[in-house]
């Protein structure tokens, strides 16, 4: 599954494959599924979360997931920090909902 988003006036491809969880583990030394489950907290925060509620989220996970989906689509993108430095702004709270289907596609089966 693949999707292209415009971020900071740049077209960025994101892709999810069967290898996405393993690529994530190899890069970040964290379990993809565990980190995805931690994202559930984002949906529960609503549109205007309090600072206290925001503190409970590990936003690094969101950036890591974005990077691994971009890296799966384009093997030439640099390491995460270098890649994020290519953007003047990276509106994470707008990007993550757009990538939700990609994120879950590597964890679920397709119905036949």
Contacts of 33 (CB under 8 A, 6+ apart): 21, 107
pLDDT computed for residue 58 by the predictor: 76
pTM, 2 dp: 0.83
With a cut of 90, say whether residue 89 has pLDDT above it: yes
- What does the alpha-carbon distance between residue 59 and residue 50 come to, in Å, rounded to a whole number? 15
- What does the alpha-carbon distance between residue 96 and residue 111 come to, in Å, rounded to a whole number? 24
- Reported as a pLDDT band with limits 50, 70 and 90, residue 95 is very high
Concatenate the DSSP letters of all residues of 49-95 into one string.
--HHHHHTS-HHHHHHHHHHHHHHH-TT---HHHHHHT-S---HHHH
């Amino acid at each position: 599954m693949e999707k292209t988003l415009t971020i900071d006036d740049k077209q960025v491809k994101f892709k999810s494959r069967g290898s996405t969880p393993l690529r994530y583990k190899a890069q970040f030394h964290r379990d993809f599924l565990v980190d995805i489950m931690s994202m559930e907290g984002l949906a529960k925060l609503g549109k205007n979360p309090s600072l206290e509620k925001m503190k409970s989220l590990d936003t690094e996970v969101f950036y890591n997931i974005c990077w691994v989906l971009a890296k799966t689509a384009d093997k030439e993108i640099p390491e995460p920090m270098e890649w994020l430095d290519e953007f003047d702004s990276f509106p994470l709270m707008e990007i993550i909902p757009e990538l939700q289907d990609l994120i879950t596609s590597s964890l679920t089966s397709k119905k036949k």
